[in-house]
Amino acid sequence: MAHKFPPILLVFNRPTALYSHRIGSKTIFVIHSPLLSLSQAMLSRGIVSPFRTPTFPFPTTTCKYSISDQDLESRGFFLRRTISDLNLDHLNSVFVAVGFPRRDPEKIKLALEHTESMLWVEYKKTQKPVAFARATGDGVFNAIIWDVVVDPSFQGIGLGKAVMERLVEELLEKGICNIALYSEPRVLGFYRPLGFVADPDGIRGMVYSRKQRKKK
């Protein structure tokens, strides 16, 4: 969807809390592990003092999906985690359908090659992607989820939730304790039940603004 409203940054707070706050025109959601204080989780991002690796093991996930893999397949949907069968032109069409600007396919390919985790749903009848989400990060402490989209023709049947549940679980299983994403205000209600919250412990995020720099 096009960013017509302030995006909010959200943070994941396992198992049920999610933080969000506004940065310019965006709302940012962040997911945060309860085993670490938020200040510890944000250390490696330069927001607070130096990060200390916890001495206790990161917990394994026990996620029960809202829609099982078997149920998805019975409805004609297949979960994919690589770009090998992903048609970038078809993915671009989904981006445009939800309000994103059309992107250069070569740049999409490059972005996906630098993606930490990715999950998309293929519709068997057309062999086209109908839902998608990906995450980038350092592979250890932090991850940001991007490009969460569902083809308008397939919205409202749980595909977006199915993708997000699995993507978040995959990141948590890697031991990543700080998970964030940007969201428009009108879809905050989608992310909150998934464990995202805004402004964790009053900590706000910032993004670079060319307009702000020109004012100086």
Which CATH number characterizes residue 96's domain?
A: 3.40.630.30
Task: Give dist(CA 20, CA 7) in Å, integer.
Answer: 10
User: Do residue 48 and residue 64 come from a single domain?
Assistant: no
Residue 32 covered by a domain: yes
* Number of domains observed in the structure of the chain: 2
Q: What is the pTM of this model?
A: 0.76
User: Do residue 158 and residue 90 come from a single domain?
Assistant: yes
pLDDT of residue 63: 56
Catalytic residue among 123, 182, 191, 208, which? 191
User: Do residue 74 and residue 107 come from a single domain?
Assistant: yes
pLDDT of residue 73: 98
149-167: burial string, b at 16+ Cβ within 10 Å, e else:
bbbeebeeebbbbbbbbbb
**Could you tell me the residue range of the domain that residue 185 belongs to?**
1-55+177-216
User: Do residue 97 and residue 164 come from a single domain?
Assistant: yes
pLDDT of residue 198: 83
pLDDT of residue 199: 76
User: Do residue 98 and residue 194 come from a single domain?
Assistant: no
pLDDT in tens, the chain (216 residues): 444 555 677 888 654 344 455 555 566 665 544 434 444 444 444 433 333 333 333 344 445 899 999 999 999 999 999 999 999 999 999 999 999 999 999 999 999 999 999 999 999 999 999 999 999 999 999 999 999 999 999 999 999 999 999 999 999 999 998 999 988 888 989 999 999 988 777 777 788 887 766 666
User: Could you tell me if 122 and 78 are in contact, meaning their C-beta atoms sit under 8 angstroms apart?
Assistant: yes
User: Do residue 163 and residue 131 come from a single domain?
Assistant: yes
User: Do residue 186 and residue 128 come from a single domain?
Assistant: no
Task: Give dist(CA 63, CA 168) in Å, integer.
Answer: 10
pLDDT of residue 29: 60
Residue 30 covered by a domain: yes
Q: Known catalytic residue: 191?
A: yes
pLDDT of residue 28: 63
pLDDT of residue 174: 94
